[in-house]
């Protein structure tokens, strides 16, 4: 009798497991769908942020180049002004 109970136990356990799995299959499929959707949205968000980051890096590089150019032009102008005034002072002094 005990052997029959042991033999019927695994099959009954398997049957109970499968029946419970069938009952919960909709929930499992629904959860998998939600996980897939979240993953898809997450990847889209990452892609969008990478695009924004690339655009911002280009903008920062452009601004840096413009500031370097302006600084160079300003420095060049100031040096020319300095040289002009020094030359003028020397001319006035020599007269």
**pLDDT value at 48 more than 50:** yes
| The pLDDT value given to residue 26 | 87
39 vs 27, higher pLDDT: 39
Closest CA to 56 of 68, 46, 64: 64
Convert the pLDDT of each residue in 50-91 to its tens digit. 999 999 999 999 999 999 999 999 999 999 999 999 999 998
Task: Give the global pTM.
Answer: 0.55
Q: Residue 1's pLDDT band (boundaries 50, 70, 90)? A: very low
Q: Which residue has the higher pLDDT, 4 or 81?
A: 81
Say which residue the tokens 């007269």 belong to: 95
Please indicate whether residue 6 or residue 77 has the higher confidence score (pLDDT): 77
SS (H, E, C) the chain: CHHHHHHHHHHHHHHHHHHHHHHHHHHHHHHHHHHHHHHHHHHHHHHHHHHHHHHHHHHHHHHHHHHHHHHHHHHHHHHHHHHHHHHHHHHHHHC
């Amino acid at each position: 009798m005990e052997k029959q109970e042991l033999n019927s136990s695994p099959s009954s356990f398997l049957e109970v497991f499968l029946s419970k799995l069938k009952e919960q299959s909709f929930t499992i499929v629904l959860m998998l769908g939600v996980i897939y959707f979240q993953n898809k949205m997450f990847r889209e968000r990452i892609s969008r942020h990478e695009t924004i980051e690339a655009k911002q890096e280009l903008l920062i590089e452009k601004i840096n180049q413009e500031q370097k150019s302006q600084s160079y032009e300003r420095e060049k102008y100031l040096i020319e002004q300095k040289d002009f005034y020094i030359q003028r002072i020397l001319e006035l002094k020599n007269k």
